[in-house]
């Protein structure tokens, strides 16, 4: 069963949703909508690449073709991670990406995507949907004429691909490294020169020596991008991104014009995608790690003393960023309050052995 079929059945089985979708054939035909979607990730990229088409297919099937979204590869409508202004200004109807791509607009978006030594997927998902995270995000994006939609979640990432083993953080000083969102601020504090490049730009930069090292995502995604061919030391755990969210950003004018039943289709397709995307992410990593090892990659683990140094640097970065940005402070306060109340359950509910 395809995700589109599964999502359609999920929708029609819910009484409330069924009521929303109960429009006449004549009315539905009068409400044909054609949108263009930018995807920040190429369809060749594992896990994240198929999401844009998956969302579009689900909506198209549920609407019997009346709500049709055409998905474009990175660069066709706008640059890979450069979609925020294009959506807000209406040059692009909708974009699929990650909030961390928008940290240049507001550092709070980086926190919405992921943060160093942050929660795993279950806790993150719960804060977003029930702890107030989505509501804060919606308010922030609305300032720039954008409708935010939580639309995906992935497992931990690798924390770097290096040409040589890293035995001391002193070796990081002066390195040119692609690094993402708030984790990049930690690396900068440790002397790394960071850049936030979109997926398709990373391999050429490594090959040409513009980058010395990189991180991007999970092993399966990194493998599709070819990092293993150049950098043979892959480090874990992903201290900077224990889980990462994805987003669907919609031009607010387009959103407001959309019939309610089409809005519901998008929302439900995104929630369904979060489940499937997380499962895909977990499922694909063992095979990718095995394939990497067969290609000469050494799987490396940061010792506790180096993880402690990363965490100490993160605590400094967090304090600095909270002081500079009230939006980030608001998100941190919301998550901290949630985490405190969640702790009594998280500490006893899960088996630890």
Q: Using one digit for the tens of pLDDT, what is the confidence trace for 201-241?
A: 999 999 999 999 999 999 999 999 999 999 999 999 999 99
What does the CA dihedral 207, 208, 211, 212 come to, rounded to 10 degrees?
70
pLDDT category of residue 5 using cuts at 50, 70 and 90: low
pLDDT score of 7: 47
Q: How far apart are alpha carbons 312 and 308 in whole angstroms?
A: 6
- What confidence tens digit (pLDDT) does each residue in 74-120 have? 999 999 999 999 999 999 999 999 999 999 999 999 999 999 999 99
Q: Is 194 helix (H, G, I), strand (E, B) or coil?
A: strand
Predicted confidence (pLDDT) at residue 24 exceeds the cutoff of 60? no
* Span 255-276, average pLDDT: 97
CATH number of 3-156+242-283: 3.40.190.170
Query: Mean per-residue pLDDT for 121-125?
Result: 97
Mean of pLDDT values over 329-336: 97
Across the chain, mean pLDDT equals 91
pLDDT, mean of residues 39-43? 94
Domain 160-241+295-349 fold is D-Maltodextrin-Binding Protein; domain 2 (3.40.190)
Specify whether the CB–CB gap between 157 and 238 falls below 8 A: yes
Report, as an integer, the average pLDDT of 292-314.
97
Closest CA to 125 of 288, 342, 347, 291: 342
Predicted pLDDT at 273: 97
Specify the domain boundaries for CATH 3.40.190.10 within the chain: 160-241+295-349
Domain with CATH 3.40.190.170 in the chain: 3-156+242-283
Inter-CA distances, 75 with 40, 41, 160, 179, 318, Å: 9, 10, 25, 21, 33
pLDDT digits (tens, 9 = 90+) for 47-67: 999 999 999 999 999 999 999
pLDDT of the residue at 324: 95
pLDDT over threshold 60, residue 28:
no
For the cut 80, the answer to whether the pLDDT of residue 21 exceeds it is no
pLDDT at residue 306 tops 60: yes
Examine the pLDDT at 17 and tell me if it is beyond 70: no
Whether residue 44 is predicted with pLDDT greater than 70 in this model: the reply is yes
Q: What is the Cα–Cα distance from 21 to 112, expressed in whole angstroms?
A: 31
What is the pLDDT, as a whole number, of residue 10?
46
pLDDT, position 200? 85
Rounded-to-integer distance, Cα 52 and Cα 37, Å = 8
pLDDT of residue 198: 83
User: What's the confidence (pLDDT) of residue 31?
Assistant: 86
Cβ-based burial of 327 (10 A; exposed 0-12, middle 13-18, buried ≥19)? middle
């Amino acid at each position: 069963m395809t995700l589109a079929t599964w999502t359609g059945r999920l929708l029609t089985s819910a009484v409330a949703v069924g009521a929303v979708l109960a429009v006449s054939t004549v009315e539905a035909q009068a409400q044909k909508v054609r949108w263009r979607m930018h995807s920040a990730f190429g369809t060749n990229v594992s896990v994240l690449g198929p999401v844009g088409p998956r969302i579009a297919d689900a909506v198209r099937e549920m609407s019997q073709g009346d709500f049709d979204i055409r998905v474009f590869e990175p660069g066709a409508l706008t640059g890979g991670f450069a979609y925020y202004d294009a959506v807000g200004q209406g040059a692009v109807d909708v974009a699929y990406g990650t909030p961390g791509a928008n940290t240049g607009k507001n550092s709070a978006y980086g926190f919405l995507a992921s943060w160093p030594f942050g929660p795993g997927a279950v806790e993150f998902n719960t804060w977003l949907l029930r702890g107030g995270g989505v509501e804060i995000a919606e308010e922030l994006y609305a300032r720039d004429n954008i409708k935010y939609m939580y639309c995906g979640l992935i497992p931990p990432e690798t924390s770097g691909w290096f040409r040589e083993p890293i035995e001391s953080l002193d070796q990081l000083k002066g390195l040119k490294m692609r690094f993402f969102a708030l984790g990049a601020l930690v690396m900068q504090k440790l002397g790394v020169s960071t850049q936030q490049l979109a997926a398709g730009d990373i391999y050429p930069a490594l090959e040409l020596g513009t980058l010395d090292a990189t991180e991007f995502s999970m092993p399966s995604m990194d493998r599709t991008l070819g990092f293993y061919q150049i950098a043979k030391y892959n480090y874990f755990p992903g201290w900077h991104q224990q889980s990462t969210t994805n987003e669907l950003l919609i031009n607010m004018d387009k959103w407001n014009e959309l019939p309610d039943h089409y809005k519901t289709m998008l929302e439900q397709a995104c929630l369904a995608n979060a489940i499937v995307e997380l499962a895909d992410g977990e499922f694909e990593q063992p095979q990718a790690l095995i394939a990497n090892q067969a290609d000469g990659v050494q799987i490396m683990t940061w010792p506790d003393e180096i993880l402690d140094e990363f965490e100490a640097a993160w605590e400094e970065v967090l304090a600095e960023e909270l002081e500079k940005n009230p939006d980030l402070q608001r998100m941190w306060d919301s998550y901290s309050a949630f985490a405190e109340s969640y702790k009594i359950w998280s500490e006893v509910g899960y088996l630890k052995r």
